[in-house]
Structure 1
């Protein structure tokens, strides 16, 4: 269909414009490596391979030492075939060990993972690489971070982990150990920034609650490292220290806050004891005091009690 718009010369039809289509976003781009998962690799028991190699070697020797009369070409061809079988069988022998697996590739393509232990036979046409799957632990060096109050800290963590999916660990990331350490540093920076290291104003959630910090770090790294085929068991903070630039100042503030809490606790205990003493004397009728005398008695008892107990609390703090 053609449309001649108004004002256009006759005889010059203008093609009708197609209605505008709504722009629909396409599916998200997914890396082809995200679909790689571990699968069993092909292998044979090592005993069968050894028996095959011995049989081929014996056959080769029998052909070479056999009776004359057979065509040399036939003998040479048969001996060459048996020798090739012997070499192929011997080259494919491998040993599977607990805590490690064989990762198999061919021309860069993943061909499976062998988790069997003992003597095995794996095709020598495949490239074999050992991958450690045992339970491993890693103690980090001090990681620089900042708490919720902006105080610079140095945090040391202990991580327990292992490779769960060898295909993802080998192909989803370039180096799964370096990737793990980088994510640990990022997780520590994120979790530490949620709470203050110490709350000098009063009791409250702080980073000294290591159980809470351990749960947050472990939960975060379990999700972050799962696409790389790494299983995380625990991430525990070993040390949480102030950065050297502010360590001395904040330690003095921490000691001052502790001393203030001890003094407040001693004062509360003194007031409670004085109140109970005055109440007991009044209820038993031992004294008959007016307001002025009651205030004077309370003052004298408070001073006496604080003099006897506050210095002791200060000595314990020191």
Structure 2
């Protein structure tokens, strides 16, 4: 039976390169140049030794110059020989390797990227807009160069995919505060987003130091309706708190009146007093006092 499955990707791994300090090679290049300068005046006399020393010194000087390269802090050089990976040099300063070696520099500094705003459907199917800020850096230069085609473009695509995954995993908001939401649990969701990104970018030798959402809102087509819903729920919540407080105050007033034997009320007058107190405490406008000049039952 023929196996048509795709072959597994060969994972690269960073190894130290065998290079040397450029300052030693620089001294040799200066010495070669000095030899050339010494024997150049003697070339006019057709002295074989002078010609040989000038040609040899020039070749040595050229050979050494081609192998120089510079590395700044948090910068690495991937060394290739005829397409074969020979290691990564992370030592800063002036460096030297064989001239036939190809040097590809890779920055291992922290990079900051803010993704584009994308539209995502949350757990309840509501369209929302999301954007994320991610701080990433290369940890394995061999994987970054050889396991993906363009590691910077790979990061951008994976950030968008991770944002979509996290956005569809939770609801945007929950006014009953019974579940994890994108808006109410920003830190927790941010940690999960970082874990998702690290898992996606490991194949490229990249890690994520920090990430978070820079934009999180309902999409324009439902923003107005959701705003009215939020306002209505806020009003209901405020009314509920107000009624609970008013009931407690009325209950306390009746208990104090009965305990101190201030006045005796039958059930009908007690109900009327409760109704009046609730109107006073729960009304949106200030009440106007009315002085009763008659008896309690008039």
Q: Paired residue for 1:52?
A: 28
1:107 pairs with one of 82, 85, 88 = 82
Q: Paired residue for 2:291?
A: none
Kindly provide the CA deviation profile for residues 127-173 of structure 1, in whole angstroms up to 9, marking residues without a partner as x: 11221111111111102211111011110111011111111011111
Tell me how large the CA RMSD over aligned residues is: 2.5
Q: Is contact 2:77-2:106 (8 Å) kept?
A: yes
1:300 & 1:90 partners in 2: Cα distance?
98
1:304 & 1:31 partners in 2: Cα distance?
75
1:176–1:49: structure 2 CA closer, same or farther, 3 Å change rule? same
1:256 & 1:291 partners in 2: Cα distance?
36
1:83 aligns with 2:64: no
Q: Paired residue for 2:198?
A: 222
The correspondence of residues 184-199 of structure 1 with structure 2, limited to 5 A, is 184-199=159-174
2:171 & 2:151 partners in 1: Cα distance?
32
Q: Is contact 1:213-1:237 (8 Å) kept?
A: no
**Cα offset for 1:78?**
4.0
1:63 & 1:94 partners in 2: Cα distance?
29
Q: Paired residue for 2:177?
A: 203
Structure 2 runs not aligned, ≥5 long: 288-298
Q: Paired residue for 1:162?
A: 137
Q: Paired residue for 1:237?
A: 213
2:32 & 2:259 partners in 1: Cα distance?
110
Kindly provide the CA deviation profile for residues 203-247 of structure 1, in whole angstroms up to 9, marking residues without a partner as x: 233211211110110111112211211010122011201112222
1:194–1:280: structure 2 CA closer, same or farther, 3 Å change rule? farther
1:30 aligns with 2:4: no
**Cα offset for 1:277?**
1.6
2:281 & 2:258 partners in 1: Cα distance?
19
2:158 & 2:133 partners in 1: Cα distance?
14
Q: Is contact 2:69-2:95 (8 Å) kept?
A: yes
Name the SS for the 2:283 alignment partner: helix
How many residues are aligned here?
Answer: 283
1:275 & 1:206 partners in 2: Cα distance?
38
TM-score, normalised via structure 1 length: 0.82
Kindly provide the CA deviation profile for residues 31-54 of structure 1, in whole angstroms up to 9, marking residues without a partner as x: 22x1x1111122221211111001
Q: Is contact 1:102-1:131 (8 Å) kept?
A: yes
Q: Paired residue for 1:316?
A: none
**Cα offset for 1:180?**
1.2
**Cα offset for 1:28?**
9.6
Q: Is contact 1:131-1:166 (8 Å) kept?
A: yes
1:65 aligns with 2:65: no
1:128 pairs with one of 79, 100, 103 = 103
1:234 & 1:71 partners in 2: Cα distance?
69
Name the SS for the 2:94 alignment partner: strand
1:304 aligns with 2:280: yes
1:172 aligns with 2:147: yes
Q: Paired residue for 1:153?
A: 128
1:228–1:68: structure 2 CA closer, same or farther, 3 Å change rule? closer
Q: Is contact 1:266-1:310 (8 Å) kept?
A: no
